[in-house]
């Protein structure tokens, strides 16, 4: 079975409270000094809007568990459902926020405790994001996740493709984010955002690189649209995800 590696790296998430499903989302795995961690949006694990703090679910519930469809070892395209508690025995959150941005940043790291029994972990490394393709306004990018809880078959991610809509080296809204113009929808929160190139690509500093296999540059994590009426979405930059991971001691 020929499957792109990136289609396997995005993981389908289900957030629930006391066994009741509240929402679905997306996440991905990174290595860290404390072991493998799930990277996803903060609003996925809190169940609350980042701007108002109000519950996202229509029933007012907030999650106490996250279920992850991990890749199954030696069975490409198959998954195993593994549960992770969102709170410890003292009721404290298990997820870890950025060391300086804290709750302002809409991404967290959740240490994984349930990866036994045939799970295969496939990683992104935000500190080594890949070839330095030139990424500027109008550059093509892809958001790999699960809109409306839809998969691309066999629990594989759906590729939603759009364009960079703001200067990536500038900070949108005074935060380490940039904008993309892409038809993203609920369920894609927490998706990795990548530049995926075939054959050739312009590189930072000028010039063009040629290659005989597709290459990927990891750009950040998708956080949601600027408002319900827009196709403009917010991406938290790879470098601040790398900072969070490096802070895990």
Q: CA-to-CA distance for 130 and 216, rounded, in angstroms?
A: 6
For residue 191, give both structure tokens: 């998706």
Residue 6 has what pLDDT? 96
The first and second tokens of residue 23, run together, are 């929402």
Query: How far, CA to CA in Å, does 237 sit from each of 48, 64, 136, 175, 216?
Result: 22, 27, 13, 9, 15
Q: What is the 3-state secondary structure (H, E, C) of the chain?
A: CCCCHHHHHCEEEEEEECCEEEEEEEEEEECCCCCCEEEECHHHHHCECCCCCCECCCCCCCCCEEEEEEEECCCCCCEEEEEEECECCCCCECCECECCCECCCCCEEEECCCCCCCEECCECCCCCCCCCECCCCCCEEEEEECHHHCCCCCCCCEEEEEEECCCCCCCHHHCCEEEEECCCCCCCCCCEEEEEECCEEEECCCCEEECCCCEEEEEEEEEEECCCCCCEEEEEEHHHHHHHHHCCC
User: What is the C-alpha separation between 185 and 25, in angstroms, rounded?
Assistant: 10
Identify the pLDDT of residue 225: 94
pLDDT of residue 1: 60
Q: Report the pLDDT value the prediction gives residue 169, as an integer from 0 to 100.
A: 94
Query: Degrees (nearest 5) of the Cα angle 46, 48, 51?
Result: 125
Q: Count Cβ atoms within 10 A of the Cβ of residue 117 and give its class: 0-12 exposed, 13-18 middle, 19 or more buried.
A: exposed
Q: What is the pLDDT along the chain (249 residues), one digit of tens a residue?
A: 678 999 999 999 999 999 999 999 999 999 999 999 999 999 999 999 998 999 988 888 899 999 999 999 989 889 999 999 999 999 999 999 999 999 999 999 999 999 998 999 999 999 999 998 999 999 999 999 999 999 988 889 999 999 999 999 999 999 999 999 999 999 999 999 999 998 999 888 889 999 988 899 999 999 999 998 899 999 999 999 999 999 998
pTM of structure: 0.96
């Amino acid at each position: 079975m020929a499957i792109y590696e990136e289609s396997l790296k995005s993981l389908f998430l289900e957030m629930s409270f006391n066994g009741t499903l509240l929402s679905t989302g997306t996440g991905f795995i990174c290595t860290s000094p404390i072991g493998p961690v799930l990277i996803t949006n903060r609003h996925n694990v809190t169940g609350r809007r980042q701007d108002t703090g109000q519950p996202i679910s229509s029933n007012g519930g907030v999650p106490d568990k996250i279920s992850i469809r991990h890749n199954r070892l030696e069975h490409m395209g198959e998954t195993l459902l593994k549960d992770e508690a969102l709170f410890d025995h003292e009721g404290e959150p298990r997820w870890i926020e950025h060391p300086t941005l804290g709750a302002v940043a809409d991404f967290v790291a959740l240490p994984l405790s349930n990866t036994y029994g045939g799970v295969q972990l496939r990683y992104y490394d935000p500190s080594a994001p890949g070839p330095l393709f030139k990424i500027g306004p109008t550059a093509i990018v892809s958001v790999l996740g699960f809109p409306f809880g839809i998969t691309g078959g066999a629990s594989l991610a759906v590729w939603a493709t759009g364009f960079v809509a703001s200067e990536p080296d500038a900070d949108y809204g005074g935060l380490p984010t940039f904008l993309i113009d892409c038809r993203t929808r609920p369920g894609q929160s927490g998706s990795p955002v990548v530049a995926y190139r075939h054959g050739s690509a312009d590189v930072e500093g000028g010039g063009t690189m040629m290659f005989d296999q597709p290459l990927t540059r990891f750009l950040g994590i998708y956080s949601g649209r600027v408002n319900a009426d827009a196709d403009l979405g917010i991406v938290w930059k790879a470098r601040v995800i790398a900072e969070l991971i490096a802070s895990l001691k």
